[in-house]
Every structure is written in C-alpha cells, then in structure tokens.
Amino acid sequence: MSEINVTPFVDVMLVLLVVFMITAPLLSVGVPVDLPKTQAGALPGDDEPLSVTIDSEGVLWVQETQVEFDQLVPLLIAVSERNPDVRIFVRGDQTITYGHILEIIGAINGAGFSRVALVSNPPDQGGGGDN
C-alpha cells in the first residue's frame, strides 16, 4: 500500500505563504503619506476597499488619481457603481488637521456611503523611538 508524501507540498506552501506575507504590504496604494500610529486593529472584510488619501500638502487622491474636493463624491459614486455598501478607507497624513479629514469623511457619509474607516499605522513595538 503506497501513500502520498505531503511533506514537499507543505514546504512549498509555507514558502509561498512567507513570500505573499512579505509582498502584500508592498502592493498597497502608491500615494505616500505619514500615517499616525494607533492601537486599533484591522477591519475584517473580503471586498477590495476604495482608498481616499490626503497627503501632507492637502492634495486629495482616490486610489492613485488626484481629484479636487468637489469632484470626490461624484467620482466615488462612479467608481463604486452606486453601491453604498462599498468599503472606503480614508488615509490622512498626520500633519493634516483633524477638521480637514472630518470634512472629507462628512462629504463621503453625506453621499450615502456608510462603511468609511480611518487608516493608521500600528505603534512601534521596539520602545525606542521617533514619535
């Protein structure tokens, strides 16, 4: 009676897992912002969220497309195909004022989108730092 040896299969799967764990963060949205650090955990969800980013100069981006504030809501409606349940992640540089970020979130909520979340970086665990 012969059996299939699964050890090589498990080895290959573990290597692939490590490769994907390393490369997945590199595939995030390409607008560079200095996100604030918080203790909040990640939100669950399987669908791909839309990303709205405010950079350090106050420029507004949807995914990797620069937009003006008055064009934000129409663009989100078009990109989401009028689906109010699409997840929208708001990424704001930590140098941007709280009021400016709330203004953008308010406009998104006012358009009927209810699944809006803020994105942050986890705090440094090393203890020595640049805050």
Residue 60 within a domain: yes
The CATH number for 64's domain is: 3.30.420.270
Residue 92 within a domain: yes
Residue 81 within a domain: yes
CA 67 to CA 13: how far, in whole Å?
A: 41
Mean pLDDT of 74-100: 87
Burial of 126 (0-12, 13-18, 19+ CB in 10 A): exposed
Reported pTM:
0.59
Residue 61 backbone dihedrals phi, psi, to 5 degrees:
-130, 140
Q: What is the pLDDT of residues 6-40, one digit of tens each?
A: 888 899 999 999 998 888 766 655 666 666 676 66
Residue 114: is its pLDDT beyond 70?
yes
Residue 64: is its pLDDT beyond 50?
yes
Structural domain count, the chain: 1
**Which residue in this structure is represented by tokens 């929208």?**
88
What is residue 33's predicted lDDT score, i.e. its pLDDT? 64
Count of other CB atoms within 10 angstroms of residue 112: 14
Residue 104 within a domain: yes
What is the extent of the structural domain holding 83? 50-118
What is residue 82's predicted lDDT score, i.e. its pLDDT? 81
